[in-house]
Amino acid sequence: MERAERPVRERILEGTYACVARWGLGKTTVEDAAREAGVSRATLYRYFPGGRDELIDAVVLWQFLRFFSRLYEELHDAGSLPEVLERALVFARRALLEHEVLQRVLATEPEVLMPKLTTERERLVGMVSGFLLPYLAHHAVTDGVDVHEASDYLARMTLSLISAPGHWDLEDPAQVADLVRVHMLAGIAAS
């Protein structure tokens, strides 16, 4: 699809992302994003009236949503809750480490990115929890387990492990299976 045929909002998000990839979060301006997207500043402000902060927040959310779309594709055929979590941990950790723009920004501008990730933490937990909820609802859980509480717990554990796996090697299927089945799902999954 030609650039002009794509929705304007999408072009602005893509253009802003390209600028962040090129210059980083701190140096990306509204003018840069508008130029990269092929729109005027006025058009950009019509879509993002909050200016640069709203635009950067929208790009972060857009990237989260793209990640979840890819994650769903990775997990849509999983047959059990443990398999969902095992595959999710491996996929998400790999995606985090291989995301060049995120890694560059984390290395060069952590003071700019970390506050955004902190303020978005609860939204991200909600997104992961919402993603896991149908899997919990459709797979056997221990009697008395509240699937909403369980999905919140698993979301927080998953996010923590993806960003800081500690001594767990998330590339080793045996370790990931042990982590999920013995530690994460203890008391949640029906045996």
> Is the domain of 154 the same as that of 95?
yes
> Is the domain of 48 the same as that of 93?
no
Work out the average pLDDT over 142-153. 93
Residues 83-112: pLDDT tens digits?
999 999 999 899 888 888 887 877 787 787
> Is the domain of 36 the same as that of 81?
no
Residues 3-44: pLDDT tens digits?
556 899 999 999 999 999 998 888 899 999 999 999 999 999
> Is the domain of 134 the same as that of 164?
yes
> Is the domain of 90 the same as that of 3?
no
Q: How many structural domains compose the chain?
A: 2
Work out the average pLDDT over 133-152. 90
What backbone torsions phi and psi does residue 119 show, to the nearest 5 degrees?
-70, -25
> Is the domain of 53 the same as that of 93?
no
- For residue 124, what pLDDT is reported? 83
For 49, the domain range is 1-58
> Is the domain of 174 the same as that of 111?
yes
